[in-house]
Amino acid sequence: MLRAVERAYRVHGALPLVLVVPQAEANPQVRCGRFELRVMENVLTVDERPIALTQSESDLLYVLMSRADDVVPFREMRGYLRPAKTKKGSLAVHIHALRRKIESDLSRPRHIVTIRLRGYTFRP
């Protein structure tokens, strides 16, 4: 049986997008290479080093990591933000904050990559 994590948000009148995790997982984890995300704790571990995330950062990173190497469209990504945070440019602000926490060179991100005019992808 599946349960919806209480993170369904409306985007511009669209149907809510919901993160779904197996009920057996009290704290779902996603692993990609040297990255491990503990979703309910909002903690990302990189090479055994814990990094605290905000709820929005955790939501966005969960989507990206669970679909690693696939392009997640901008509109879909905005659907995972709370309604108060869906102003134009707010997605880019959250992505920038995530990059500051995990990228070694912000001018050339290797892990959270923008695919021009399409969306974002996560590369472990």
pLDDT digits (tens, 9 = 90+) for 42-94: 999 999 999 999 998 999 999 999 999 999 999 999 888 877 656 667 899 99
| pLDDT score recorded for residue 25 | 52
Q: How many residues in total does the chain contain? A: 124
- Select from 99, 55, 116, 107 the least CA-distant residue to 81: 55
The domain 2-122 is placed in CATH, from the list 3.30.70.260, 2.30.30.40, 1.20.1050.10, 1.10.10.10, at 1.10.10.10
| pLDDT score recorded for residue 3 | 33
| pLDDT score recorded for residue 26 | 58
Residue 7 has pLDDT above 90, yes or no: no
Domain ranges of the chain: 2-122
Average pLDDT, the chain: 81
Sheet holding 43-46, edge to edge: 29-32, 35-38, 43-46, 49-52
